[in-house]
Amino acid sequence: MKSKSMEEHKRKSPLKVKIGVITLSDSRYNDKSTTNAPDISGKIIMESVKDHELVHYNIIPDDSKHLLNAVNDLIQDKKAEVIITTGGTGIGERDITIETLKPLYEKELDGFGEIFRYETYKELGTGAILSRATAGVYKKAILISMPGSPNAVKLGLKIILPELGHLVKHLKE
């Protein structure tokens, strides 16, 4: 059953939001030609948000300093309202996205990670425990972190795309 008040909020939400996309990948960063390691997940995100305003897209290495600089640049200089990251969410030594961004959150959007893991569990089974997808609010922007696999990105977009305007509406209240 849908909530009447939520539907009303969605009707009053912006139709277009300013989105920044960051891919974290050492291999894709080091191969700027993208001949050997194309950024499929980044391209999926950019294609999926074409009805919004893409303010910037960047491939950076799996490095906390690069990530913090990229996020702050998107917020301050590019005026991004939503920043979507892909990659660096695993449990390997070079996976730094969650450890870098989560401490910045002024508010965590637990529901995104919970729904993401639930949907992953339905598709893949218990391997869903490896997912650390998360989202939160930082400096009046929504940060959404998804794994780097194209299928994970498609799943995450299925969850967030219908809510982007709604999220930004509440963020600006």
Averaged pLDDT, 63-78: 98
pTM of the model: 0.93
Within a domain: residue 1?
Answer: no
Higher pLDDT, 11 or 112: 112
Phi and psi angles of residue 63, each rounded to the nearest 5 degrees, phi first = -145, 125
Range of the domain at 156: 16-171
In the chain, % of residues over pLDDT 70: 95
In a domain, 35, yes or no: yes
Residue with tokens 């450890």: 99
Task: Please report whether residue 6 resides in a domain.
Answer: no
Q: Which residue has the higher pLDDT, 168 or 1?
A: 168
Query: What is the Cα–Cα distance from 105 to 137, expressed in whole angstroms?
Result: 5
Q: What is the pLDDT of residues 24-68, one digit of tens each?
A: 998 888 765 545 668 999 999 999 999 999 999 999 999 999 999
For residue 127, give the CATH number of its domain: 3.40.980.10
Burial of 65 (0-12, 13-18, 19+ CB in 10 A): exposed
User: Cα angle vertex 112, ends 47, 137, to 5°?
Assistant: 90
Listed in sequence order, the residues at least 6 apart from 94 whose beta carbon sits closer than 8 Å to its beta carbon are 26, 62, 88
Residue 8 counted as domain residue: no
In the chain, the number of structural domains is 1
Mean pLDDT, to the nearest integer, of 90-118? 97
Q: How far apart are CA 41 and CA 147, in angstroms?
A: 9
Asked whether the predicted pLDDT for residue 9 surpasses 80, the reply is no
Average pLDDT of span 124-149: 97
Q: Is residue 86 part of a domain?
A: yes
Report the pLDDT value the prediction gives residue 29, as an integer from 0 to 100. 81
pLDDT in the model for residue 34: 47
HSE toward the beta carbon, residue 162, CA cutoff 13 A: 6
Average pLDDT score, the chain: 93
Distances in whole angstroms, Cα of residue 120 to Cα of each of 117, 124, 165: 5, 6, 24
pLDDT of the residue at 36: 60
What gap in Å lies between CA 95 and CA 109, rounded to an integer?
A: 21
